[in-house]
């Protein structure tokens, strides 16, 4: 009991001072899983909230109340607890790469974002106990997208008036979050806000916001930091209730292993004065060898690669060899499927325009016509060689008739590298109607000639 009380004390005091104070004493904000909430740092990078069929987990309450005037003691769950978090086994619930982009495009927000992260004295990651703006991509890449399986109490740090705000918040079950290698929620996908452990309310607890069906203060969970680094999470499939293993840092669109994982035992006792070491640097993920084959119908390409740049730093390169989708990558298919494959380390982006003129790409992942970008890769300059994929599709029976176009943009070029080569494949009704290979100069925003097709 004493050990658990120490855990609770560490949890609720882990965050230091906050930014601008707007929350009334004792106020706790209720945030629906689908809501962006106040003061978002970014647009949502979360997929639509799924319907959870699996039964919720149960955790014992703490033996002592942790807040004055609280309706019930807070329940404590260790970050390494089997089944604490859920997923869909296709990892599409959150896109931390897009969160990285949003912050990279807005330096003032990025600066406030790391300020909010660094207030938490319990922060541990491979880079140490703090994060710089330059480390945001690396830091976010080490976080794991999961779905909350219980209403969870956190400190939610938003952005307002050029600084960060701190609100005591309860996130609804089903919310998509990014957790660190100690199992602690570190970012909310619906708004890009950094999360940190909760702090005790300053007065009598009152709840602000609309209570969702099933909400009860008696079922709210506080996540405690695992003493040991979590090398493999055990998540619950929210549809079937079965467990499966997921290594830290999996990205959206990357399939997760199937089956039931082994149960892990985590130490939950923390002694006073104990220091939790940061995890060791993660080794590079091995590159999977492509083994699948794209079926190509011999048709004339609808476009030609863009003309070589006349810049002295750009050289003409031959089209790439036939690229295939790595077996570890699952892409959406249907009436229409447009797939971009590339092997360089430039950030190549796929754009598809539907008959109504709506453009689907990383900043607008879906269209009202039913199209969806289900995979977006950002290799990063200097990344190990690999086949990267981006994919836009309309499900079977869900695409409108009319004229479409697709093109490629070199969003983040890598200077002093050869032109970035790519392969763009268009399928209509499951049949390849165009397969184009080309190259783009290492110039930010370089754009290919559009591929036009109809359905």
CA distances from residue 181 to 80, 114, 178, 257, 280 in whole angstroms, order as listed: 9, 18, 10, 19, 10
Its pTM stands at 0.56
Is 34's pLDDT higher than 90? no
Q: What is the arithmetic mean of pLDDT over 98-103? A: 90
> Are residues 406 and 435 in contact, defined by beta-carbon separation less than 8 angstroms?
no
- The Cβ of residue 173 has, within 10 Å, a number of other Cβ atoms equal to 22
Q: Please state, in angstroms and rounded to a whole number, the distance separating the CA atoms of residues 192 and 400.
A: 33
Per-residue pLDDT at 186 exceeds 90: yes
Higher pLDDT, 17 or 384: 384
Separation CA 46–CA 40 (nearest Å): 13
pLDDT at 212 over 90: yes
What's the average model confidence in pLDDT over 13-41?
A: 73
Given a cut of 90, whether residue 228 has pLDDT beyond it is no
Highest mean pLDDT among 142-146, 307-311, 375-379 belongs to: 142-146
- Across 42-56, 239-253, 320-334, the highest mean pLDDT is recorded for 320-334
In sequence order, what are the residues at sequence separation of 6 or more whose Cβ sits closer than 8 angstroms to the Cβ of residue 316? Answer: 308, 419, 439
CB atoms inside a 10 Å sphere around CB 198: 26
Task: Determine the average pLDDT of the residues in 184-211.
Answer: 90
Q: What is the pLDDT of residue 445?
A: 83
Structure tokens at 190: 């619906």
> Residue 41 pLDDT > 70, yes or no?
yes
Note the pLDDT of residue 316. 34
Residue 2 main-chain phi, psi, to 5 deg:
-65, -45
Nearest to 173 by CA among 223, 229, 232, 214: 214
Helix (H, G, I), strand (E, B) or coil at 72: coil
Buried b (16+ CB within 10 A) or exposed e, 336-354: bbbbbbbbbbbbbbbbbbb
Packing angle of the helix pair 107-119, 96-104 (nearest 10 deg): 120
C-alpha–C-alpha distance, residues 388 and 390, integer Å = 7
DSSP code, position 276:
P
Task: Give burial (CB, 10 Å; 0-12/13-18/19+) of 59.
Answer: middle
Specify the pLDDT at position 136: 93
Query: pLDDT digits over 109-138, tens only?
Result: 999 999 999 999 999 998 899 999 999 999
| Span 388-410, pLDDT tens digits | 999 999 999 889 999 999 999 98
Residue 218 DSSP label: G
Phi, psi (5° rounding) for residue 322? Answer: -55, 125
With cut-offs at 50, 70 and 90, classify the pLDDT of residue 177. very high
Q: How far is CA 358 from the centre of its chain?
A: 24
CA angle 219, 220, 224 (to 5 degrees): 125
Strands 206-208 and 336-342: unpaired
Q: How confident is the model at residue 119, as a pLDDT? A: 92
Angstrom distance (rounded) from CA 268 to CA 277 = 15
> How do residues 243-285 score in pLDDT, each as one tens digit?
888 888 865 444 444 433 333 333 333 333 333 344 444 333 3
Residue 36 contacts residue 181 (beta carbons within 8 Å): no
Per-chain mean pLDDT for the chain: 77
What whole-number distance in Å separates Cα of residue 350 and Cα of residue 354? 13
């Amino acid at each position: 009991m004493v050990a658990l009380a120490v855990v609770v004390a560490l949890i609720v005091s882990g965050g230091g001072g906050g930014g601008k104070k707007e929350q009334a004493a004792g106020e706790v904000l209720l945030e629906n899983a689908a809501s962006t909430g106040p003061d978002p740092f970014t647009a949502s990078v979360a997929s639509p909230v799924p319907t959870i069929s699996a039964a919720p987990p149960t955790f014992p309450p703490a033996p002592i109340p942790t807040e004055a005037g609280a309706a019930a003691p807070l329940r404590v769950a260790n970050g390494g607890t089997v089944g604490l978090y859920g997923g869909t086994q296709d990892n599409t619930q959150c896109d931390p790469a897009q969160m990285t982009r949003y912050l990279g495009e807005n330096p003032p927000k990025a600066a406030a974002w790391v300020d909010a992260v660094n207030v938490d004295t319990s922060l541990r990651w491979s880079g140490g106990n703090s994060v710089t703006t330059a480390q945001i991509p690396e830091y976010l890449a080490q976080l794991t997208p999961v779905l909350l399986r219980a209403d969870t109490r956190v400190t939610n740090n938003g952005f307002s008036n050029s600084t960060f705000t701190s609100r005591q918040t309860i996130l609804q079950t089903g919310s998509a979050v990014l957790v660190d290698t100690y199992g602690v929620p570190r970012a909310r996908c619906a708004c890009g806000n950094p999360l940190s452990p909760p702090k005790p309310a300053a007065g009598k607890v009152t709840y602000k916001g609309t209570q969702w069906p099933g909400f009860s203060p008696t079922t709210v969970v506080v996540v405690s930091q695992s003493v040991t680094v979590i090398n493999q999470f055990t998540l619950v499939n929210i549809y079937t209730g079965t467990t499966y293993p997921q290594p830290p840092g999996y990205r959206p669109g990357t399939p997760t292993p199937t089956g039931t994982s082994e149960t892990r035992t985590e130490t939950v006792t923390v002694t006073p004065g104990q220091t939790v070491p940061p995890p060791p640097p993660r080794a590079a993920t091995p590159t999977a060898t492509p083994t699948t084959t794209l079926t190509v119908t011999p048709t004339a390409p609808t476009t030609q690669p863009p003309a070589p740049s006349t810049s002295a730093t750009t050289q003409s390169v031959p089209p790439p060899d036939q690229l295939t989708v790595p077996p570890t990558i699952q892409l959406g298919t249907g009436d229409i499927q447009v797939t971009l494959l590339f092997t360089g380390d430039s950030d190549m982006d796929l754009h598809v325009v539907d008959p109504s003129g709506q453009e689907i790409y990383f900043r607008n992942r879906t269209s009202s016509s039913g199209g969806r970008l289900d995979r977006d890769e950002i290799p990063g300059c200097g990344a190990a060689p690999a086949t990267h994929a981006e994919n836009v599709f309309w499900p079977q029976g869900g695409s409108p008739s009319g004229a479409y176009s697709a093109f490629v943009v070199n969003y983040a070029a890598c200077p002093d590298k050869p032109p970035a080569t790519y392969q763009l494949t268009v399928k209509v009704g499951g049949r390849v109607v165009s397969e184009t290979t080309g190259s783009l100069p290492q110039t930010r925003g370089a754009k290919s000639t559009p591929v036009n097709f109809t359905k």
